[in-house]
Amino acid sequence: MPLHVTDFTWTQTDSAVHVCVPLKGAKTGSVDVVSTDEYLKVHFPPFLFEAFWFRPVVDERSSAKISDGVAVFTLPKRSQQVWERLMRNTDDKETRRTIRERALKEQQLKVSAENKRRAENLQAERRFAVEATMKLENEERDQIQKMKDAERERTTVELAAWQNHLNQARTRTTGPEPEPTSPGRNQLDAEKKKNWVEVPPLRPGRTIGVTFTPRDFPTALRESRVPEEEEWLRKQAEARRGVGSDLTELKDLTEEEKNPDWLKERGDKCFRSGDHLGALNAYSLALRLNNKLPALYSNRAAVHLKLRNLHKAIEDCSQALDLLSPVVGANAAARLRASVRRGSAFCQLQLYAEGLQDYEAALKIDPHNEALQEDAQRIRDIIQGSAAGQTERWT
């Protein structure tokens, strides 16, 4: 049962109501608010504040300011008059239930409209990006064509000048000859002139740009592992296309809730805000939709560690490491996280030998990580019996 908040305060004017709800130490990201013209709910587990307004308010123009320790709501009245009290006097559970259900439906419509608006904005941004890219490509293509035309024109002018120069040289070789001084010498000079042609000038050089097709992996070819890299890319593509076989059981989900990537982001946000059960549910549903994504298993293992489900954490880490094959540089960071999480779970179960193997595997990936080096040495000391008081690190 939630604990109802009763130490709230409120003030009013003829046109608005101001309500101040203490959050009792709750973080801003963990506060859930549902607001309509006749109802307000502020939920921050394990506390709950509910208000069934004495008169309707204008929810579209209402505002909320939530900060650490307090939530302040400003609610314009639909009719300007002084209220006798803040909430209606009703103990009818059926009436309250009806108002709650109506408020939840209105909230769902608001969320759907907001998601639709965001999707439209995203589509418009993508369309604008495509149009801008096409415009840049057309401008680049026009610029290249102009350069080609200018080069063609320059070459035509040079060719015409060379042809004119060649014609002039031929004219000089066939022009009037001087009076011969001796028959043999004049005949030899005439033969030389007929066979002489001037060499055209050298054309100026130009630089040709060369580009190479980018590779998915930045390592040099002599250092790369082409078959393993191609196999990893193929598995990633198949995982992205994979969808669970039990979608018929999940037909009531929204389109977003059928997207494993959206569910992963949802789980990440819940984990960061401390809602570990919410994160666990999000990752588990995502795995029902697509069980080929190693990040889902690894992130769910982190949640199990927080909830002390140590055997389940080990199982998820092992599944993630099985999917993170073949071993390539692109999945090194993911393998490191899964190894450390499984090693931590082993150590919390006091299976230090198994935990040390995972920490040493992580050190092979990141040998200069000082925190990993310290943890691995601490485990070695525990195994050797020289650090009996250090076991609380994993307990």
Residue 39: is its pLDDT beyond 90?
Answer: no
CA distance 147 to 159: 18
* pLDDT of amino acid 220: 54
Name the pTM for this structure: 0.43
Percent of the chain with pLDDT over 70: 83
The stretch 118-125 carries a mean pLDDT of: 88
Answer whether residue 314 shows pLDDT above 90: yes
The pLDDT of 111-117, averaged and rounded, is 85
pLDDT for the residue numbered 185 = 57
What does the mean pLDDT of the chain come to?
82
Strand partners of residue 22 = 70
Q: pLDDT band at 395, cuts 50/70/90?
A: low
216 close to 263: Cβ distance less than 8 angstroms: no
Residue 381: band (very low, low, confident or very high) from pLDDT cuts 50, 70, 90: very high
Q: What is the pLDDT of residue 213?
A: 58
295-307 pLDDT per residue, tens: 999 999 999 999 9
Per-residue pLDDT, 222:
47
Q: What's the pLDDT tens digit per position in 128-171?
A: 888 888 888 899 889 999 999 999 999 999 888 888 888 887 77
Share above pLDDT 90 across residues of the chain, in percent, rounded to a whole number: 32
Query: Which of 53-57, 93-97, 171-175, 233-237 is least confident?
Result: 171-175
Q: Coil, helix or strand for 141?
A: helix
Predicted local distance difference test score (pLDDT) of residue 349:
93
pLDDT of 11 strictly over 80: yes
What is the distance between the alpha carbons of residues 293 and 272, in angstroms, rounded to a whole number? Answer: 20
- Domain positions in the chain: 3-109, 261-394
User: Pick from 258, 226, 261: which is nearest to 240 by CA?
Assistant: 261
Give the burial class of 299: count Cβ atoms within 10 A of its Cβ; 0-12 exposed, 13-18 middle, 19 or more buried: buried
Label residue 276 by pLDDT band (50, 70, 90).
Answer: very high
Residue 250 has pLDDT above 80, yes or no: no
Confidence band for 218, pLDDT divided at 50, 70 and 90: low
- 332-357 pLDDT, tens digit per residue, is 999 999 999 999 999 999 999 999 99
User: Residue 107: its pLDDT value, please?
Assistant: 79
Q: CA nearest 70: which of 40, 31, 39, 101?
A: 31
CA-CA distance, 241 to 230, in Å (whole number)? 17
- Is residue 306 within 8 A of residue 318, CB to CB? The reply is no
Q: Please tell me the class of the 3-109 domain.
A: mainly beta
Query: Looking at residue 266, what is its pLDDT?
Result: 92
Query: CB count, 10 Å around CB of 332?
Result: 13
Which range of 21-25, 123-127, 201-205, 383-387 scores highest in mean pLDDT? It is: 123-127
Task: Look up the CATH superfamily of 261-394.
Answer: Tetratricopeptide repeat domain (1.25.40.10)
